[in-house]
Amino acid sequence: MTTEYQITAGLPRPTAFFVVSDLHGCAVDPIIELIKKSGCGAVLLPGDCFHGDEMYMTGAEFLREASKVCPVFFSIGNHEMKCGFDVTAEAERCGASVLDNSSAEFNGVIIGGLTTGYPKLEKQTHFKKSPPPDLEWLERFSALPGYKLLLCHHPEYYARYIRRLPVDLTVSGHAHGGQWRFFGRGVFAPGQGIFPKYTSGMYEGRLIVSRGVGNPHFIPRINNKPEVIVIKIK
């Protein structure tokens, strides 16, 4: 499914972004076709493009093909930290711009990438509270002039660290829509636990959470279609 959001920000010219989160080794070609049809100016990936060493080629293929269509901005999620190779070098070789606690300007929008707080190759569990990101960089990013869009894989970071800062829009994934959805609510999300708050949709007009396109678990998604997002900012 494709979900579209319209945001009024007073930009010099309208800009549309195509958001793909949590690829996790799923089929690439259908998503590339959606990107082409969308007419978006850039692709945003808020983490988990590379699932890990065992399925990294799918992420590389996606970055190569998407970069042929339009610019790609990629921030680092927890699954990138499971990779035994240099994720930044591989992503840049495939044509993407990697925002590793860094930012870039695109059509009047300052795009930042807040890297996951998980250390490289550390064992990760679904019930562990997500470790904090680089808060000093986040403060510096929030102080930049202009419209600021933050790619932040972990939606649970929003209430803890981002909400109080002048960041205009945060785009996240990670929660996989809550895996099972009943009565419009997800059942579980890593870093948030049972009946998590941030799993899908827009919150407070400043946080958009994608359900993602892949499924890294043996547990099936129920009432929870894979999702890509189009964000139109004017």
Would you give per-residue pLDDT tens digits along the chain (234 residues)? 889 999 998 888 899 999 998 887 777 888 889 999 998 999 999 988 786 656 557 778 889 899 999 999 999 887 677 776 777 888 888 889 999 999 999 998 999 999 987 766 666 666 567 788 999 999 999 999 999 999 999 999 999 999 999 999 999 998 776 566 776 776 666 777 676 788 888 999 999 999 788 776 666 766 667 899 999 999
Residue pair 33/224 in contact (Cβ under 8 Å)? The answer is no
Structural domains of the chain, ranges and CATH numbers in brackets: 2-233 (3.60.21.10)
Q: How much is the pTM?
A: 0.88
Residue 33 has φ and ψ, to the nearest 5°, of -65, -40
The strand ranges marked E within the chain are 2-7, 15-19, 42-46, 72-75, 97-98, 102-106, 109-114, 147-152, 169-172, 181-182, 185-186, 188-189, 193-194, 201-203, 207-209, 228-233
List pLDDT tens digits, range 91-125.
888 889 999 999 999 998 999 999 987 766 666 66
| Close Cβ partners of 179 (under 8 Å, ≥ 6 residues apart) | 186, 187, 188, 189, 217, 219, 221, 222, 224
Tokens of 186: 């997800």
List pLDDT tens digits, range 26-42.
778 888 899 999 989 99
